[in-house]
Chains A and B, each alone.
Chain A
Amino acid sequence: MNIVVITGADRGCGQALVRYFIEGGWRVYAGQFMPEWKELEQLKEEFGSDLILMPLDVSDDASVKAAAEFVGAREENIDMLVNVAGIAGGAEDNADAWKQVFQVNVLGPLRMTEAFLALLRRGKKRICVYSSEAGSITTQPREDGFVYSMSKTAVNMEMRLMFNRLRREGFTFRIYHPGWVRSYMSGVRSREGVYEPEESSASAYLQFVTDRPCEDVLLMMDVKGEIWPF
């Protein structure tokens, strides 16, 4: 059985992705940041031992390390790491917001990858991250909202640095732009958007589990399978 670790699984895209992976025959370790949010536990009742919940705050070194030890005590390897956890930041666009967003959106995937690297090396070696069109310098149309956009550009660069080191070991990478999702990015579920989390995650799941003929190229691909320039 293939094994995946998913961050940001409490709700929205992450939670939808949990369901797709389990239905696809994977065992899922789901990072739970908000235990008060009960939907993930309802999924646990539905799927039993195929879904393992674990406390996880990707902005906290000790929490990430504990999660890696938790999985390592139960598995010889993991096959895939999916970094969904992300925040939009508040209305402020200042240094405090940068610190908060950077810790989650940028350092979160790096912490997770490094903590789980030994387990990943013994598995199928795929690392996935939820990015955004907001991280594309080429197409960026905004006149404000610096913090979120800069964090997504930075995480794209982070994936490049990882790719440059790990590709030769056989690792493969997915940078995914989920589209405009009616998500919980700002804390409450958005009424605006084009896609439901389930729609966006259906495409993500297929892209994450499907091999590409050109794994030597690092791409950002969206919900429709279209490539975005960096």
Chain B
Amino acid sequence: MAVQFEKEGDSVYLLLTKEEAEQMWREGETGLQKVAVGSRGEAGSGFHMCICQPDYAETVRALYEEILEHEGRVDILVYAPCTHAGDDGAVGERHSYEAIYAATERNVMGFRTLVDTIVPLMSKSTIRRIAVITEANASIRNCVSEDDYGYYLSLAAVNMAEKIYFNRLRKEGFTFRNYAGSCIGETMGAAWYVSCDLSNNPEEPSIHSDENRLVMRNSLYEEIAW
């Protein structure tokens, strides 16, 4: 977990599920420091932690109202699906179909609810960017995992959802990022990739412009096949 402010006056709303907040509370100071490191840096006063269950429309609506009141707009929406189905083994091993479904409901429908609710606030911004933070195993082509069905089915479905949003919203000026995090070390970080502008010449063929197509990139700026 990392929070980065671009400049003085920026606001960051960090959304935590109830379980995530409870886990951080159990971890005590260590857990809270993970969040606080960035916020103490340049513009701590703009940091807000919110309990928000993305797959519950009421909590997302409350978030919408809060941001509308205090900020008036959202520039960038970053979504990182992270719910697993628990003891979710390989084919033929233990797992619960209900738990697999529940993981996808939270990860996938949470993304849908969040985007559908927040997009009107983003339309008030000139930046209008939606980013998904994922991992290289979200690639159906390259995935090497054998288990964790609830999680990996979610990652694939969220990527598809982002593509459909891209098709719908790109013409309204929205831009999109899909970043596959890795453990390669200090290379291109998610925050940099999410916040920087890319080639956006409307006359450029779409294949040459990252803004005119949806592409998954890793921390080495390599394109990863879906």
Contact = CB atoms under 8 A, between A and B. Distances in A.
A166 interface: yes
A140 interface: yes
Contact of A165 (B90, B100, B159, B225): B90
B168 A98 contact: no
Contacts of A136: 226
A165 B91 contact: yes
A144 B91 contact: no
Given A137-B160, A140-B163, A103 B144 contact: no
B141 interface: yes
B97 interface: yes
Is the interface on chain A under 10, 10 to 19, 20 to 34, or 35 or more residues? 35 or more
B167 A161 contact: no
Contact of A158 (B109, B112, B149, B225): B149
B157 A114 contact: no
A103 B157 contact: no
Interface residues of B, number: 38
B206 to A, nearest CB: 12
- Chain B, interface SS category: helix
B87 interface: no
B29 interface: no
A223 interface: no
Contact of A110 (B91, B139, B140, B155): B91
A61 interface: yes
Contacts of B100: 107, 110
B91 A150 contact: no
Nearest to B153: A154
A146 interface: yes
Nearest to A164: B146
A40 to B, nearest CB: 27
A107 B153 CA distance: 10
A66 interface: no
B88 to A, nearest CB: 10
Interface of A: 61, 94-95, 98-99, 102-103, 106-107, 110-111, 113-114, 117, 135-138, 140-146, 149-151, 153-154, 156-158, 160-162, 164-166, 229-230
Q: Closest 9 interchain pairs by CB?
A: A157-B156, A230-B140, A150-B157, A153-B160, A137-B226, A143-B168, A165-B146, A154-B153, A165-B90
Given A98-B108, A153-B157, A158-B153, 15 more contacts: A95-B105, A110-B91, A110-B97, A111-B97, A138-B226, A140-B167, A149-B164, A150-B108, A151-B157, A156-B140, A157-B140, A157-B143, A160-B143, A165-B90, A230-B226
Interface of B: 55, 90-92, 97, 100-101, 104-105, 108-109, 112, 139-141, 143-149, 152-157, 159-161, 163-164, 167-168, 214, 225-226
